[in-house]
Copies of this chain bind each other. A is one copy, B any other.
Amino acid sequence: MKPSLPSGFRDFAPDVLRKRNYIFDTIKKVFNTFGYDPIETPSLENLNTLTGKYGEEGDTLLYKVLNSGDFLRKAKNIDNYLRLIPEICDRGMRYDLTVPFARYVVMNQTAISFPFKRSQIQPVWRAEHTQRGRYREFYQCDADVIGSTSLVYEAELIQIYDTVFSHLKLPVVIKINNRKILGGVAEIAGIPDKMQLMATAIDKLDKIGLDGVKRELQRFEIDEPAQNIILSCLEISNLQDLAVKFAPSETGLKGIAEMQTVLERSQKASLTNVLEFEITLARGLSYYTGTILEVKARDIAYGSIGGGGRYDDLTGIFGLKGVSGVGISFGADRIYDVMEEAGLFADTAKTALRVLFLPMTEDAVDFCYETMTALRRKNIVCEMYPDAAKFQKQMKYANAREVPFVAIIGEDELAAGEITLKNMATGAQERIKTADLSTKIY
């Protein structure tokens, strides 16, 4: 049988994984410095924890796990696959980190001290149609604070974005909006009940232009005067000017006040990256109640590589009402693509291996092994070709491993307690004392 991988799933070879781990490790370190405690939830949840939480389409994209043993025994709806699913599948695979986090908080509410700052980095699974750049297994990296309405956390999460991308040397623009500002626009346009539709339309401004937005608003049966008020708001980037327009909308003014607090705090923190108010930013919206965040690479055209915002009822679905939260997410796979395109992995991608020992005789094998043991005690990453094979074969292996130095040990070297050290980049070769090796290879 010729083995293969299921479509939409990936192996990660060492060179790719090294780069991915560089991203994850950077994010983890920053989450830790900012006090976001890591948690993990299981890969499988009870199916009824998941169904109905991601909309109708989400339900079809959930991976369901077949019950063990004679799963048909209790099945009644043998002729209706949709009704059969809950009869033969008690569990489903994690679809995102948000619903499991909400379940976790509700189940552990008495043990948790609120505000609870948690981070979570785990894979999720979605039965999407596969296409370039879309996978059925991918990682989510989330940080959330739950149990506080303080705007300190908005500023803190923006700082986390800023710090991570500054460590990754990837310049980004962090875009910020507030649902209450969108609410203000809808109120002064006299269409508070169509706020969600309006947000969907103006979110597309980048792609379809002002005329396109106008057509969309028209399509949603928002009348001409309202259209004009909405479009006039889109041209304002100054919060003071917007406040004047928002005079009749309490919601809108509240949104501006929140925005100002967050921007001022962020300014004092002297961010490395650009933080930019963008009135069109909506990101689905239905979920968010306050601040909305999105991150894009500054110099490379690509979609969003991060996003988040404030929500007010994460745990309500599991019976715990009135707990406010705010969170952000990093799109690790997308960050990987952008960094690859920007050539930012140059240094980290290199193999950690510093030196490869090549024994020319069987007697040299033990000498190599002992020398390696000493180096490894110093945390120097080294290896040996495991037997006295032909020199050409050994060198071919050394080239394939992209090792910076090889240490050649033949009869002469063994007798003299020395090593022939070859710099693989320059080709230079020299005889050195074994004791000098660890300094020569750096």
Contact = CB atoms under 8 A, between A and B. Distances in A.
Interface in A181-195: none
A60 B69 CA distance: 7
Nearest to A122: B123
A103 interface: yes
A236 interface: no
B269 A386 contact: no
A14 B118 contact: yes
Contact of A38 (B14, B41, B400): B14
Interface in A1-52: 1-6, 9-14, 17-18, 21, 29, 32-35, 37-46, 48-49
Contacts of A42: 5-6, 9-11, 137
A115 B370 CA distance: 19
Contacts of A396: 113
Interface residues of A, number: 103
Interface in A209-265: 265
Interface stretch (A77-85, A285-293, A329-337, A433-441): A77-85
Contacts of A79: 72
Contact of A17 (B39, B60, B90, B156): B39
Nearest to A113: B400
Contacts of A33: 376, 379-381
Nearest to A320: B3
B65 A65 contact: yes
Which secondary structure dominates chain A's binding surface? mixed
A153 interface: yes
Contact of A63 (B34, B37, B65): B65
A374 to B, nearest CB: 9
A319 interface: yes
A13 B37 CA distance: 9
B32 A381 contact: yes
Nearest to A79: B72
A352 interface: yes
A305 interface: no
Given A42-B11, A400-B113, A3 B35 contact: no
Interface string A51-91: 00000000011011110111111000011010011001111
A162 to B, nearest CB: 10
Given A33-B379, A89-B66, A108-B13, A152 B39 contact: no
A11 B40 CA distance: 6
A9 B44 contact: yes
Interface in A345-382: 351-353, 365-366, 369-370, 373, 376, 379-382
B11 A41 contact: yes
Contact of A68 (B60, B88, B107, B319): B60
B3 A49 contact: yes
A3 B81 contact: no
A384 interface: yes
Nearest to A94: B43
A38 B9 contact: no
A14 to B, nearest CB: 4
A155 interface: yes
Contact of A90 (B1, B6, B107): B6
B386 A1 contact: no
B376 A11 contact: no
A179 interface: no
Contacts of A78: 78
Given A65-B93, A383-B35, A386-B150, A123 B43 contact: yes
A127 interface: yes
Nearest to A85: B66
A134 interface: no
Interface of A: 1-6, 9-14, 17-18, 21, 29, 32-35, 37-46, 48-49, 60-61, 63-66, 68-73, 78-79, 81, 84-85, 88-91, 93, 103-104, 106-108, 111, 113, 115, 117-118, 123, 125, 127, 136-137, 148, 150, 152-153, 155-156, 159, 163, 265, 268-269, 318-319, 351-353, 365-366, 369-370, 373, 376, 379-384, 386-387, 396-397, 400-401
